[in-house]
Structure 1
Amino acid sequence: MRRAPREEPGPDADTGVGPGAGPDPLHDFLRELTRFMLTFSGEGAEGVDRVVRGLARTYGGYAETVLVADGAVLSVTAGGRTLTSTVTAFPDVARLDRAVALKEFVERVRDTRPPLPEATAGLRRVETLPATVPRWARGAGIVLFSVGFAPAVQPTWYEIGTTALLAALVAALTVLSDRRPRLARVLPLLAAVLVSLVTLGVLQPGHGHGGPVLIMLPALFFFVPGDLLSAATAELVGGFLTTGAVRLVYALVLLLQLYVGVLIGVAVTGTPSSALFDGAQDADLSRWVLVASWAVFTVGLILAFGVPWRAAGWLTGLVYLSLGVQAAGTALIGEVAGTFVAATALAVAADLLSRPAGRPPRLVLFLGGFFTLTVGSLGLRALTSLAGGHVLHGFRDLMDFVTIVTTIAVGLLVGAALVPGRVEKEFPAASE
């Protein structure tokens, strides 16, 4: 766990809660804000701490947080008294429209400083916002998300066609589980079993179509926890040890669900484990189809994660920025260094572009570009290759996975370090 630096208010600071008042209203508001950010915004430990401390400063108090991946200890001081409480929440990034609404809400509170009960009520309204897309549109988004990613796995029309079928099944399963939280916890396992059964038992791709894992992977990409893995590594590198360790374990559990699901399909269909070798088919797509596929991917991401359409231009721009920088860097200095440069550029661009009022938050701008770096898929390929007895190939993929995920995390950390923090400028004190 990592504690935020203590920032005591000055002796004449206005608490924002009335003369002689205690910290209760400010504490209640910040407690709700912390819970909301842990649950819906998908921010890492640094983002939660920055906003909570900043709004405490705005109201003339100060807040200190001790954060873990699914909880926090919050201490708020105002009016000469301190209150401390714990907050627990299960992280979820399925509704990024709430992350956008939260940033706009925080900017309004920062600029207008409404009474704290009014601010708390406003936060609850943000939390209960209806979904921006209907459930069927979210399912369509998962299909487009997977189909747009498919050419990055194998640039073939067969890959696109099979992905459309398999992703439609995954989308139907995902939409059905939306109102069943307990089922959602094992959704990656169920999706992997379904995809594995259909691929191995129905499609039965021949040697000329690439390995079965490559056929399955795009349809399961929605569940691959590449973002969690890199975020965990970045938090470990940045000193948030408990948060990073818990997030890393959770990401590995999700990855293992996919792995076990594939193996269940192998066992049920009687497929030899040696068939999991992931040899790729020769490309038959033009370069323009490959370029256009990322636009399809971005549209799918917007629908699947509920990103407001007004953020589409920013999201698309950063997806192609990441691709362009990574491609140029790989051509000039190799894959690892090129990925590092791409991750650094993405972190800098997302941070700077998200700062002006009214812009989408950093998480939303960053997520699309990050997905293009396809970290988690290497982990699944490594595990299945090892299970199939292809030890050297599996360990090569595993080493690539460890190298790339660390490279991306360090690149993101360097990018964040290149952009100076601005808590005091972003959240002026009440007396300023």
Structure 2
Amino acid sequence: MVFEDSAALRRFLLGLAEGMNAAGEPVSGIHETMVTVAHAYGREDTDFVLLPTVILVETGRGEEGRVAIRSAVNASFRFDQIAALYPLVEEAKRGAVDPAEGIRRLNEIGAMQPAHRWLLRTFGHAVLTTGLALLLAPTWQGALVAFCLGAFIGLAKLVRSPTLQIVFPIFAAFVCALAVFLLAPYIEIGDPLTLLIAPLVTFLPGGALTTATVELASGQMISGASRLVFGLVQLALLSFGILAAGTVVGVESSEYTALEVTAPFPWWTAMVGVLLFAVGNYLHFSAPASTFGWVLLALVVAYTGQQLGTVLIGASISGFIGALAMTPVVLWIGTLRHGVPSQLTFLPAFWLLVPGAAGLVGLTEAVGASQGMDDFTAALTSVMSIALGVLIGTALYRFAHHGAEELAQFHIEVPAALVATEQPPFWARMLPGTPRSFWGGRRVPEAPDAAPDARPPGRR
């Protein structure tokens, strides 16, 4: 099917790309999807330039080419919006939705109201924070403090002001650190910095840092570098808020380092923490009810893999095993008939692996405790290990799912008038995806002036 209304199609493609960007999809995945959608509408003459903040779509060639550009706003979809977006993406991949209708549905997705009321979403953020605190801060007092701070952050995040959102992470880090440092001398909360990770987890750029590393490894240098710088600046701002609170309270530099806990949690508390973390994500991000079980499965796999990695290769790069185990599972879930989009299960698992948390602790200790850059280097190693696990897990899944058809993806179509009519050599026909391949690959079209079969009748 060739869709003739190029203007509507360009706008539809822009909207799809912007929506996937708001869902946290890497630009490499967005580009692959957009090319598939354009081909489904019969527009092989479409090209894309995708960056985290700019999207360009060109249809047509030469003088007939038309370009549409969109400055991507700093939007972030909730889980219910992501769940509504990806069925539309799958329809677009088949060319099964009219672009005008697709634009209308995209606008509806952008204007969706949260499925849960503000009080339930605030409570969900508190539960999410408590679940993570049970994994990070090994005291009941610390978990209670994290619940209260999580409720405060969840309530404050309901204010939708672009201007306030710029400074709100610093303000949240300052307030949380101020409360924790004031309570630390009187309540056994464990390591103050580690406890601060729980209420600040939804501000941590762990997903951005991991996505940046994946994009850099896949050759997307501009988008990967910009995300990496953004993530590091976000960490620096959060660290500034914590250090400012420490200066106000009068915290000594040595008090930024970890403190020993006399009575740690029993082993089964970790499973309760993972369950609470899943419940908190479901409530705070207004996820559809059908996604809860899949998110919990991804969290269990990620946490189990991380703990196994701690035993096998050490805590600093244990995230590699967690990401390696989690990635094929979430991609597999996304292909099931009653599954959920992979972004819904990826994002909570990223936060559970906490690559940004390690960076925040490392940067704050490096500056506040004057320990040099060893801690921060270890934190970046943790981020790289998680990104490497995602890369290898994705590659293994795609190889198992698509087989050897990806071995011959580089192929440039030759104009029909220049296509040779002779048979390709035997070795070339052995490669999947090449013209006249034995494996059912693309067939080279006949030249328009090719002579018809001139064999005499009877000799067939």
| Range into which the TM-score falls when normalised by the shorter chain | 0.7 to 0.9
Given the alignment, which residue of 83, 86, 107 partners 2:69?
Answer: 86
2:165 matched residue in structure 1: 184
Please give the alpha-carbon distance, in whole angstroms, between the structure 2 residues aligned to 1:23 and 1:79.
Answer: 15
In 2, Cα distance between the equivalents of 1:289 and 1:56? 49
Residue in 2 that maps onto 1:61 = 43
What is aligned with 1:7? none
Give the Cα–Cα distance (whole angstroms) in 1 for the partners of residues 84 and 228 of structure 2.
28
Q: Hey, what does 2:447 align to over in structure 1?
A: none
Structure 1 distance, partners of 2:335, 2:121, is 28
2:123 is aligned to: 140
**2:100 matched to which residue of 1?**
117
> Where do residues 21-100 of structure 1 align in structure 2 (5 Å cutoff)?
23-38=6-21, 40-62=22-44, 63-77=46-60, 81-100=64-83
8 Å CA contact 1:214–1:280 kept in 2: the answer is: no
TM-superposed CA distance for 1:111, in Å, is 4.7
Residue-by-residue CA offset, 1:177-225 (whole Å, 9 max, x unaligned): 2x21210122210101111222223x24359543332332222222111
Partner residue in 2 for 1:249: 229
> How far off its partner does 1:32 sit?
2.2
Q: Quick check: 1:154–1:283 contact (8 Å CA) kept in 2?
A: no
Superposed displacement of residue 102, structure 1: 0.7
> Matches of 1:217 and 1:116 in 2, distance apart?
43
C-alpha distance in structure 1 between counterparts of 2:146 and 2:187, whole Å: 17
Residue in structure 2 matching 1:378, options 336, 342, 358: 358
1:233 aligns with 2:213: yes
1:419 aligns with 2:406: no
Specify the alignment match of 1:292 in structure 2. 272
Aligned: 1:16 with 2:13: no
In the TM superposition, what is the alpha-carbon distance from 1:357 to its structure 2 partner? 4.5
Equivalent positions of 1:276-287 (< 5 A) are 276-287=256-267
1:356-393 CA-partner distances (Å, limit 9, x unpaired): 3553211112122222211111111112222333416x
Which residue does the alignment assign to 2:199? 219
Amino acid at match of 1:408: I
Cα offset, 1:351, TM superposition: 1.4
Shift of 1:112: 6.5
In 2, the alpha carbon distance for the partners of 1:357 and 1:100 equals: 14
- How much identity, in percent, do the aligned residues show? 27
CA contact (8 A) 1:61 1:76 kept: yes
TM-score, normalised via structure 1 length: 0.86
Report if aligned partners of 2:16, 2:89 keep a CA contact under 8 Å in 1.
no
1:294-345 CA-partner distances (Å, limit 9, x unpaired): 1001111122222212100000001001111222233234345643232122
Deviations 1:252-303 (A, max 9, x none): 1221121111122122223333322222423432222221111001111122
For structure 1, the 5+ residue unaligned runs are 1-13, 426-432
Match of 2:322 among 342, 358, 376: 342
- Give distance in 2, aligned partners of 1:36 and 1:263: 36
CA contact (8 A) 2:23 2:82 kept: yes
Q: How many residues align?
A: 402
- Which of the residues 164, 179, 190 maps onto 1:198? 179
Shift of 1:37: 2.4
In the alignment, which residue of structure 1 is the partner of 2:288?
A: 308
How many angstroms does 1:44 deviate by?
Answer: 1.1
* 1:399/1:114 CA distance change after superposition, 3 Å: closer
Asked whether the 8 Å contact 2:124–2:279 carries over to 1, the reply is yes
Q: Which amino acid aligns with 2:166?
A: R
State the one-letter code of the partner of 2:268: W
Paired residue for 1:407? Answer: 385
Flag the structure with larger Rg: 2
Q: Please give the secondary structure, in 1, of the residue aligned with 2:200.
A: helix
**1:276 corresponds to which letter in structure 2?**
Y
Q: Where does residue 254 of structure 2 map in the other structure? A: 274
Q: 2:299 aligns with which of 319, 324, 333?
A: 319
Deviation digits for residues 123-166 of structure 1 (CA, Å, limit 9, x no counterpart): 22222222122222221121111100012222211211111122
TM-score (norm 2): 0.81
State how far apart, in whole Å, the 2-side matches of 1:301 and 1:205 are: 32
Structure 1 counterpart of 2:3, one-letter code? G
Structure whose residues are more often helix by fraction: 1
